[in-house]
Amino acid sequence: MHGIGILGVVLVGMLAGWIAKRVLNRRHGLFANLIVGLLGALLGGWIADGLEIQFGGFLGSLAVSTAGAVLLLAVLSLLRRR
């Protein structure tokens, strides 16, 4: 996450986790949102870098983090069903 600082990272993580929770109709709290969002940010950032997708600032970081968080929750839900 380029250029948003540590507080921005935490805010993006919480928002990305919350959006992913709403998209996939999950129920978990603020701390879980933060963890899912931060892990989603790592996953989304890794995928974006691998695909050479440029992102920056708050909105770019939020979009990439949210996509990663949604992907993370979807994969976890598929693994739980097995």
Mean pLDDT computed over 58-66 = 87
Q: pLDDT-derived band of residue 1, with 50, 70 and 90 as boundaries?
A: low
The model's pTM? 0.82
**DSSP track, the chain:** -TTSHHHHHHHHHHHHHHHHHHHTT----HHHHHHHHHHHHHHHHHHHHHTT----HHHHHHHHHHHHHHHHHHHHHHHHH-
pLDDT at 61 over 80: yes
Residues 6+ apart with CB under 8 A from 77: 24
pLDDT at 2 over 60: no
pLDDT, position 67? 92
